[in-house]
Amino acid sequence: MYQAPRGTQDLLPEEQPYFAHVEATAGHFASLYGYQEIRTPTFEDSALFRRGTGETTDIVEKEMYSFIDKGNADVTLRPEATPSIMRAYLQHGMHARPQPIRLFQIISGFRYDRPQAGRLREFHQFDCEAIGEDDPALDAELITLLWRFCDALGLHDLSLDINSIGDQACRPGYLEALRAHYEPHHEELCGDCRRRLSVNPLRLLDCKVPSCQPIADTAPGFTDHLCDACREHFARVLATLEAEGIAPTLNRRLVRGLDYYTRTVFELFPPRAGSQSALGGGGRYDGMAEHLGGRHTPGVGFAAGIERLVLNLKEQNAPVPPTPNAQVYVGHMGGQAESVASDFARSLRSRGVSTLRAVGERSLRARLRHADAAGVRWTAIFGDEELRDGTVSLRDMNAKSPETLAFDQALERIVSSTQDRTE
Ligand code: AMP
């Protein structure tokens, strides 16, 4: 028997209320803040992610689903959305439109990661990006959108971490201070951190290895090393958030694993956060467009993990709206009644009533069991007797005992009951 590949999952119909709730709320909040939907390809040139995500990130070093296609192109299933959206912005000359460009997308993402709860090889993200403007109001807008979206989903007791990781002007000075702090501890560092010390020191703060924690905890924070422009930017982000009633925690170790981030970085955590449990995160990436060979183009965005949001909705017992069932089950007993039952189903559907049509030959008991399992409000059964009299045996599933009604009368009864419900 084939199984779904490791790290992937089938979302069966019973899971849909959760995913539909998250995705509908995501779309609603994106448009509430004026973000328009974009859809970019599931795969891109591998070089886009190598440059856009960053050569020294775990994603690029260890996690990409890359392959050579039949035309010898080196392509990668997207591990995240931001480089694709920036590519689309540059490719379509969106700088010529009024700035910023606010976009959102719901994607499946692919990372060759070690599967565990909330960590999959194919996962889904709600991604929002605002490109073409470096106003700190936008950083705050995205954080606010993410925060209010989670609140509207019904998630409680979340915490928001924030930090600033400066720009080209102040980062060299900070990295110097970081190296000076780490060098004396060289021997105590894990293998990854020794390498990071030379290739990407900012990521030292990201290390999860227990023996590296005391060194990272006592490291200098970037906010003490920001240049005036970055300090001013960060202060305005915080002030705008305060006006929104959002109070993030300064986390001096928050750097995010992606090279192109500048200034604001943030991450959202559930109440019982483990090391890998962030619900979402993002930041500003003013350096990315140039890194991709485009003109200087500031940008800021976030991605929230849909599977993790769903896990937390379940953990917090948050109510989610049910996905609608069919309203009517139409069954025939015996081949003679088949066509009149189909006429009835057709009439219902033409009046906008969702209708489940029984197929095959089954006992009445089996038909009713099926109708019950389908959660319909009405069950209409056509047998020989009904066929002869031009009637239908109509059962209101709340009332249980059936009534015999004329075809048209039954139709009107159902249509008016479903209209009552939607009014
Ligand atoms: P990142 O692009 O790494 O900042 O991820 C943003 C969000 O996507 C994370 O906070 C997670 O909620 C989610 N996410 C990232 N990687 C995975 C994964 N392998 N499985 C499930 N969710 C993920």
Q: Which two tokens stand for residue 270?
A: 């559930």
Helix or strand or coil: residue 17?
helix
- Taking the centre of ligand 1 as the mean of its atom positions, its distance from the CA of residue 64, in whole angstroms, is 14
| Cβ of residue 80 lying under 6 Å from some atom of ligand 1 | yes
Residues in the chain: 423
Query: Residue 177 Cα, ligand 1 centroid: separation in angstroms?
Result: 30
Q: List alpha helices for 43-190, DSSP H.
A: 46-52, 58, 82-91, 136-153, 171-182
307, 309, 310, 313: residue to mutate for ligand 1 pocket, most atoms within 8 A of CB: 307
Task: Please tell me the least confidently modeled range out of 173-177, 256-260, 328-332, 359-363.
Answer: 256-260
Check if 123 has its Cβ closer than 6 Å to any atom of ligand 1: yes
Q: Which fold has domain 328-416?
A: Rossmann fold (3.40.50)
Cβ–ligand 1 contact at 307 (below 6 Å)? yes
In this structure, the residue with its CA closest to atom 17 of ligand 1 is 119
CA of 221 to the centre of ligand 1 (A): 25
The two counts, helices (H) then strands (E), for the chain are 15, 16
Tokens of 145: 């959108």
Q: pTM value?
A: 0.93
> Exposed/middle/buried for 223, CB within 10 Å: 0-12, 13-18, 19+?
middle
Q: 9, 65, 116, 119: which to mutate for ligand 1, most atoms within 8 A of CB? A: 119
Residue with tokens 């694993």: 257
For 350, the 3-state DSSP assignment is helix
Report the residue among 65, 106, 113, 125 best suited for mutation to probe ligand 1: largest number of ligand atoms under 8 A from its CB. 125
The tokens of 269 are what? 């955590």
Exposure string for 140-156, b = 16+ CB within 10 A, e = fewer: bbbbbbbbebbeebebe
Q: How far is the CA of 421 from the centre of ligand 1 (A)?
A: 40
Please report the pLDDT score of residue 272 as a whole number: 78
Please give the pLDDT value at position 274: 61
- Where exactly are the structural domains of the chain? 16-170+226-315, 328-416
User: Is there an atom of ligand 1 within 6 Å of 120 CB?
Assistant: yes
Q: What is the mean pLDDT of residues 335-339?
A: 92
**pLDDT confidence of residue 257:** 61
Q: Tell me the DSSP string of 302-318.
A: EEEEHHHHHHHHHHTT-
Q: Answer for the pair 407, 342: CB distance below 8 angstroms, yes or no.
A: no
Q: What token pair was written down for 380?
A: 């209409």
The model's pLDDT over 237-271, given as tens digits with 9 standing for 90+, comes to 999 999 999 999 999 999 976 667 899 999 999 99
**Nearest ligand 1 atom, CA 113:** 19
If you measure from the C-alpha of residue 305 to the centroid of ligand 1, how many angstroms do you get, rounded to a whole number? 5
Ligand 1 near 59 CB (within 6 A) = no
Q: What are phi and psi of 232, to 5 degrees?
A: -65, -45
Question: Which of 409, 376, 369, 375 lies closest to 392, judged by CA?
Answer: 409
Q: List alpha helices for 155-305, DSSP H.
A: 171-182, 191-199, 213-217, 228-243, 288-291
Query: Stretch 343-368: mean pLDDT, rounded?
Result: 96
Give the pair of three-digit tokens for residue 416. 């008016």
Q: Which residues contact 150 (CB under 8 A, 6 or more apart)?
A: 158, 268, 279, 280, 304, 309
Average pLDDT along the chain: 94
Distance 120 CA to ligand 1 centre (A): 9
Give the model confidence (pLDDT) of 58-97 as tens digits.
899 899 999 999 999 999 999 999 999 999 999 999 999 9
Ligand 1 centroid distance, CA of 358 (Å): 42
Residue nearest to atom 20 of ligand 1 (CA): 119
Question: Per-residue pLDDT for 213 more than 80?
Answer: yes
How many angstroms separate the alpha carbon of residue 266 from the centre of ligand 1?
Answer: 13
- Closest C-alpha to ligand 1, atom 4: 281
Structure confidence at residue 423 (pLDDT): 44
Point out the ligand 1 atom lying closest to the alpha carbon of residue 119. Answer: 20
- Cβ density class 405-423: b for 16+ within 10 Å, e for less: bebeebbebbbeebeeeee
Task: Give the pLDDT confidence of 366-414 residue by residue, as tens digits.
Answer: 999 999 999 999 999 999 999 999 999 999 998 878 999 999 999 999 9
In this structure, what DSSP letter does residue 224 have?
G
pLDDT number for residue 164: 97
Cα–Cα distances in Å, from 116 out to 112, 167, 302, 309? Answer: 12, 35, 23, 15
Q: State the pLDDT at residue 66.
A: 97
The residue among 356, 349, 369 whose CA lies nearest residue 328 is 356
Residue 261: predicted pLDDT: 83
Separation of alpha carbons 117 and 130, rounded Å: 31
Q: Is 142 in the pocket of ligand 1 (CB under 6 A)?
A: no
For residue 110 the two structure tokens come to 């692919």
Would you identify the CATH topology of the domain 16-170+226-315? Answer: BirA Bifunctional Protein; domain 2 (3.30.930)
Please report the pLDDT score of residue 335 as a whole number.
87
pLDDT score at 421: 56
| 8 A C-beta contact, residue 118 and residue 311 | yes
Q: Which tokens go with 187?
A: 């021997």
For residue 278, give the ligand 1 atom closest to its CA: 10
Mean pLDDT within 301-305: 98
| 300-313: average pLDDT | 97
